[in-house]
Structures are given as structure tokens and as C-alpha cells.
Amino acid sequence: MIIGREGVTTARTRWLLVGFLLTVGCWSAAGPSVADGPGSHGLALEVTVNTRPGLGALHPGIRTGAAVVKSYRLVNRGGADLYEVRVRDPGLPGAVIRCPGGRDRVPMLTGLRSVRCTAIGAARPGAWVGEVRATGQQPYLRAGAMRASTRSLRAGGVQATARSGYTGVGAALALTETARVTGPQQAEVRYVLVNHGNRPVHGVRITDPVLAPGRIACVGGRPVVARLAAGARAACTAVVRRPPGTYISGGRADGSDLLRTLGPRGEAVIPPRLTARARARFTLRAQVPVTPLAPRPRAPVVDPGQRPRAGTPASVPRLASQLPAVPLPPGIAAPGIAAPGVAQPGVAPPGVGPPAPGVGPPGVAPPGPGAPEGAAPGVAPPAVPDGAGRAPAAVPPAVPPAAVPPAVVPPPAVPPAAVPKEAEARHPLLSRFVRADHTPTGMGMLAALLLVLLPAAIAAAVFGSRRL
């Protein structure tokens, strides 16, 4: 009896197992199978930025220009496989998303599995927040109601979204430089500092290691700009004194924005030292000494009403009065100079040649050594009576004309600049027609007659021919 009961129990267990399998088979033919998963919601997406999930990288932010690492975790929550899964992120424009295998998509995401894709880009200034979207294809099997052996393959789209982003922060220094010459061996160098970032920069110091000026003055006369706001600018100047030559200035600006930011692996990055450089070239030239020009000597101005005769310049008597007196033997007189106590006649004595050029005409004598100041040339001083304290002048004995030398005293040398143009020697051709005293010579008279008679003869010949 005991053995019989065990056999009955085993048979019942087998029938129950077969019934369960048939029930499951019939249910799967009527609707979706368990392997199909939860339908279109079987794909999930998780995004991190520099290991910060979602929007966690907005504060404190990532330094502008640093690396932004985004990670996209794709999860297939269903049992059915997903195909051609792609990720699109508008918050990281221009970046290439790489999935396992180096592709830009996941060819097949097995059910109940997950994969990770990454994208790397450079941080841009400002906030970059966007919605990341992942899409894929989900095929599933359905059996026909009439024929169990007939199967059809149909596909449905699945998608998942997630918000993520970061903020690019930091100051950006830029330095420009100009130089101009302001004087002899002196130039002024101007440094202009600009903050192109979106955060202020602090403690900016400008130096010039190449030129090494004595002092660089910024805002308030100090060499340091305490705070430079975003988008602001500041100017500094330096006066340089150097010997003549060509010089190159190399300005440098150093500061910090005092910001701690996120690194690629989520670590805190200390604020770096911000640096900007610029160069300028200038030339200092040697000063050329300016020599004053000597004034030109002016010609003596002679009043037309008092113009002396030709051959008698007005400066000759003055120069003759300044010459030292030359003692002469008694009774000997030089041409144009009266001997002491002897009146000089208007005609030169025989044996004495004509007066030298530059000396007044015969009969006009310059004042002697004893003449008072201001006495006119050729005018004898007033006679002093015998009893007025001076002995009567003794008359020297007469000297034969042959004994007088042709030239005892040389004519005074007159500098060329002191002789006017009227005193210069006349042209030898003109002297044949006009004498020194402006009287015509015989040849001059003949020339004048020809100039008068020749036109008259020509006129008479012309009129006579008309009457004929």
C-alpha cells in the first residue's frame, strides 16, 4: 500500500507540470512575452559632467578652456535587446561621443545590461545646459492566432532623456603696448590691460623685464591694479630715458581670479596664475646741434642826395684819417697830402703821378694828424695867430721837382668790402668814351654825333624815295 501511494503521487506531479507548461505557452501566444520587457520605457539614461551628476557642474563651474568630460550611462531595463542606440547632446556642441568599440552608437544593447559612452570638449564661457537624448530600436516577436509556426518581426522606437550642463568661468587677461618718443633721449611706454573673461581679476602687476624702466604707474600712481572687473580695462605708463639707439619693450601682466573650479575627474583645481605679454619697439635718435647762420654783410647805404662823385668814395677820407701819420722830410709832400705849413695847390706838382685809386681827387686832402675831430676833408684848420702860444711855421726851402720821388707814401689799403660799387674801376671800353669826371672824350663826341646824324640820314633817304 505504501508503494502504491508513492506511484500515484509521482504521476500527479508530472501531470501538474505538463499543465503549467501548456498554460504558459497559451498565454505567450495571446500577448507579449516576458522577454519583451516593459515596452517603450525599457531604456534609461544617466549623465555626469566631470563626475558631477546632472547639473552639479554649474557650481563652482569649470575653468574656461579646460576639459569637460561627459559620461552617458545607457541601461536596458527590459529583457529584449535594443539596437542602434545613439546619444545626442546639444550642451556640448562639436564634441564626438564615443561608445564601446570606438563607434558613435551602440549597435546592440542586450536586455538587462548597461553601457557607457563618453565625450570630451573644451569649456566655453557661460552656462551650457541642455537635454541629452538617447534613442534606439526594440524588435519583438508575436505568434499568429491561426498558425503557431508563423512568426513576424516588428520594431518599435525607444528613447530616454536627461538634463545636464556646466558653467565656464574664469578671467582672461590681454595686454597691448605702444611707445612714442617724447623728447631727446626719452620715450613714453603705455601698457593697456583688458579682462576678456567673465570673472574679475585681482592684484594685477605689470612689469617690463626687457626694458626695466624705473617706474610703471597705473591707477592711482601704483604699479598694481587691485581689481579689474570683467570686460574692463586699465592703462599704465612708464617714462624711459636712454642714450640714442633702438630698444624693445617686453611688458608682462600677472594676476589671479581667485576661483576654484572642477577638474576632469571631479577634483578641485586651485586658481592658476594669469599671465599676458606684449612687445613694443622704438628708436631714440641723437639730437643734431643747430648752428646759427652768420648774417650777411650789408652794402653801405648812400643817400642819393649826398652821393659823392665817381672815384671819390665816402669811406676813403674816414679810412685815411685813421691811418698813422708818416713823417716826411721838410718840403716833400705826397700826392693829395699837404706838407706841414705849405698849402697844397689844386694841381699836382710836376713829377708826381695821378692820385692812386681810392684816394680823393687832387686838391682834397684828408685831415692831418693835428686836425680837430669832425673837420671836413680838404678843409684846413683855422689859422692860429703868431702870438697865441705857437711859433710861426717855417717855410721849408724849395725842392726841385726832379728831387721828389714818384711815390714816397704808399696809398692807404682800403678793404674791398668798404669800397662801394661806384668806386670800382670802370670798364676799359667805357673809359674811351667818358672820362672819370663824366665829361665825354673825343671819341665819345663822335659817337654821339653818329647816333644823332645816322637816324636823320636814314629818315631823309626814306622820305626822298617816297617823293620820287
Which residues on neighbouring strands pair with residue 51, listed in sequence order?
none
For CA atoms 53, 58, 59, 61, give the dihedral sign.
positive
CATH number of 173-284: 2.60.40
Question: Considering only CA atoms, which of 112, 162, 154, 153 is closest in space to residue 135?
Answer: 162
Q: What is the CA radius of gyration of the chain?
A: 64
Q: Looking at the chain, which residues constitute the CATH 2.60.40.10 domain(s)?
A: 34-143+155-169
Residue 204 bridge partners (DSSP): 225
What proportion of the chain, given as a percentage, has pLDDT over 70? Answer: 59
Structure-derived torsion over alpha carbons of residues 19, 22, 27, 33, reported in degrees to the nearest 10: 120
Return d(Cα 419, Cα 410) in angstroms, integer. Answer: 18
Collect all residues with Cβ–Cβ distance below 8 Å to 137 and sequence separation of at least 6: 82, 83, 84, 155, 156, 157, 158
How many C-beta neighbours within 10 Å does residue 253 have? 25
CATH for 34-143+155-169?
2.60.40.10
Kindly give the parts of the chain with pLDDT less than 70. Answer: 1-9, 18-20, 22-41, 140-156, 288-428, 467-468
Give the start-end residues of each E strand in 266-383.
Answer: 268-269, 274-284
Give the integer Cα–Cα distance in Å for 236 and 176.
Answer: 11
Please choose, from the candidates 280, 285, 214, the residue with its C-alpha nearest in 3D space to the C-alpha of residue 243.
285
Give the containing element (helix H, strand E) for 365. Answer: none
| Cα separation, 260 vs 272, whole angstroms | 9
- Tell me, rounded to whole angstroms, the distance of Cα 54 from its chain centroid: 53
Q: Where are the alpha helices (DSSP H) in 180-249?
A: none
The pLDDT assigned to 188 comes to 95
Please name every residue paired with 158 in a beta bridge, in sequence order, or none if there are none. 136
pLDDT at 23: 65
3-state helix, strand, coil in the chain (%, to 5): 20, 35, 50
Report whether 224 contacts 218 (CB < 8 A). Answer: yes
DSSP 8-state assignment for residue 434: B
Buried-exposed string 197-214: b where 16+ CB fall within 10 A, e elsewhere? bbbbbbebebbbeebebe
